[in-house]
Amino acid sequence: MRAKEDYLIGINFSRLLSIIYGRKLAKEIEQEKASISVGRVMTCVLGMVVEREREIRNFQKVPYYKIAGKFGKEKGNFQADWRVTEKSSVYQSPKLYNDVGFRKKSDAEELTEILQTKNAFVTEVKKSKTKELAPLLFNLAEIQNECTKRFKIKPDETLECIQNLYEKKLVTYPRTDARVLSSAVAKVISKNLNGIAKGMANDEEISGYVKKMVEEKYSTNLQKTKYVNDSKITDHYAIIPTGQGYENLEKLPDLQKNIYRLIVKRFLAIFYPAAEYNKVSVTVEMDTETFVANGKVCTKQGFLEILKPEKKKAKEKDDKEEEEGTEENLDILNDLKKGQALLLEGVEIKEAETSPPSRYNSGSMILAMENAGKLIEEEELREQIKGAGIGTSATRAEIMKKLEKIQYIEINPKTQIISPTIKGEKIYDIVAGSMPDMLNPKLTASWEKGLEMVAKKEIPAEEFMTKLENYIKSKINKLVIPM
């Protein structure tokens, strides 16, 4: 049914647009002739790439100015960031940028001068303990994204590597959308763990993680955890190590070994306890103005012992520290009491600027396709809106490969960043002017949902095909002038 739908949309719309716009396109890209390839998923993905590129191209940086205060007490000092509240003298002022700073440096300087004469007091101290569980297991989209980030390889290369691991009996079936296990697999999961313990005994790092599981008596019962959910599995469960096939491991290329280790680590992490954090949030007031400081420290590594946090880029690190605070801040903030007077040691004006959205790379595009064009960084949220994707786990990498082959997009071999070609942008403009809904991920996802409903026998195949044929006819009738 999917093949039939893709064929009908592809052949009808490609021929239609090639006949109407082919000569004009050839002239614009300075070629003798040009055909236009249209696909239900392919055209939508091209649209995502072009729209992101134009958003970046047209982006205007906006500078703004933040205020940070340095507050002292007997045991040292700490930095807190100014925030606009309803009590602030500049509340809802047009001078502000998003309640975190000023549009003009002179306005920020004016407030800092006023603050120099004010007394500072601690008005609130919030202390909390939080826990963070290991992430869900890999499906194909997640491992493709991870491998693009770590190894700078294309999604189709990742699939090729994991397919080989599967054929060597080292991992389970790779073309899966699920990130959880079935209850049946969870019951016998100790077989996988025992296999890893024996097969990777010579791997110091992996065997160390398994040894700690045994020594600390970590539970291997996954039945009532978030990692087991039969309702979230259609055909295949998440990609995990089988605990078999180790006679083939040493013969594999280094890249495939590294990908296998990623899968093993993600799998072992779900048996480790949650990471635990202590957090402190302090509010300081100076007359009508408010400053906020945060401190955070990891008290128990738990699964982070296996899945060590990635190093952040400078800007990402600064933003995260501003939001969550640093370990250094924690001891000082912990000692503060509500009502305590503080000394203002200095006020600093920090220049900042808005930044454009990032271009897709080949891995993040796979995730965006999985979620109907919404590139969602937060893992749990990605899982919640699943079911509205475009393409399938088996076809997404091939779609990007085709777009690159027909020269609609370019993928940087070193960074895997995706950019549209001139030809790709011209095709986008043609589709946007003639059948714009073909560029809409939501429409493409709705067709995908229809296919799923046919597969589950929720609607008859005839009903789906009638709707599809009517859709195609309506597009042709709109563009073709009756004789």
Helix 441-455 vs helix 461-479: angle between axes, to the nearest 10 degrees? 150
Residue 473 has pLDDT above 80, yes or no: yes
Q: 15-73 pLDDT, tens per residue?
A: 999 999 999 999 999 999 999 999 988 999 999 999 999 999 999 999 999 999 999 97
Contact at 8 Å (CB) between 75 and 335?
A: yes
Mean pLDDT of the chain: 90
Distance of alpha carbon 60 from alpha carbon 383, whole angstroms: 33
User: Predicted confidence band at 380 (pLDDT cuts at 50, 70, 90)?
Assistant: low
Contact at 8 Å (CB) between 370 and 385?
A: no
Enter the tokens of residue 407. 């020269």
Q: 269-305 pLDDT, tens per residue?
A: 999 999 999 999 999 999 999 999 999 899 999 999 9
Enumerate the β-bridge partners of residue 349.
67
* Neighbour count for residue 294 (Cβ, 10 Å): 20
Distance of alpha carbon 457 from alpha carbon 357, whole angstroms: 41
329 vs 259, which has greater pLDDT?
A: 259
Q: 145-170 pLDDT, tens per residue?
A: 999 999 999 999 999 999 999 999 99
CATH superfamily, with its number, for domain 63-127+278-353: Topoisomerase I, domain 3 (2.70.20.10)
Contact at 8 Å (CB) between 244 and 170?
A: yes
Residue 184: HSE in the Cβ half-sphere, 13 Å Cα cutoff: 5
* Count of residues in the chain: 483
pLDDT of 356: 95
Enter the tokens of residue 373. 């064009």
Q: Considering the entire predicted model, what is its pTM?
A: 0.86
Q: What type of residue sits at position 340?
A: Q
Helix 461-479 vs helix 2-28: angle between axes, to the nearest 10 degrees? 20
Phi (first) and psi of residue 25, to 5 degrees: -65, -45
* Nearest C-alpha neighbor of 353 from the set 66, 83, 90: 66
Contact at 8 Å (CB) between 192 and 267?
A: yes
Distance of alpha carbon 346 from alpha carbon 443, whole angstroms: 55
pLDDT of 152: 96
Residue 337 has pLDDT above 50, yes or no: yes
Q: What type of residue sits at position 244?
A: Q
* Neighbour count for residue 340 (Cβ, 10 Å): 15
* Nearest C-alpha neighbor of 345 from the set 72, 18, 143: 72
Q: How far is CA 272 from the centre of its chain?
A: 24
For 261, the 3-state DSSP assignment is: helix
Fold assignment, 2-59+359-473 = Topoisomerase I; domain 2 (1.10.460)
For 61, the 3-state DSSP assignment is: coil
42 vs 317, which has greater pLDDT?
A: 42
pLDDT of 465: 93
Q: 65-95 pLDDT, tens per residue?
A: 999 999 997 778 999 999 999 999 999 999 9
Contact at 8 Å (CB) between 146 and 363?
A: yes
Q: How many helices (H) and strands (E) does the chain have?
A: 17, 10
* Nearest C-alpha neighbor of 193 from the set 75, 294, 272: 272
* Extents of the domains making up the chain: 2-59+359-473, 63-127+278-353, 140-269
Enter the tokens of residue 105. 């440096």
CATH superfamily, with its number, for domain 140-269: Topoisomerase I, domain 4 (1.10.290.10)
Specify burial of residue 95 (Cβ count, 10 A radius: 0-12, 13-18, 19+).
Answer: middle
Residue 384 has pLDDT above 50, yes or no: no
Residues 391-399, mean pLDDT to the nearest whole number: 89
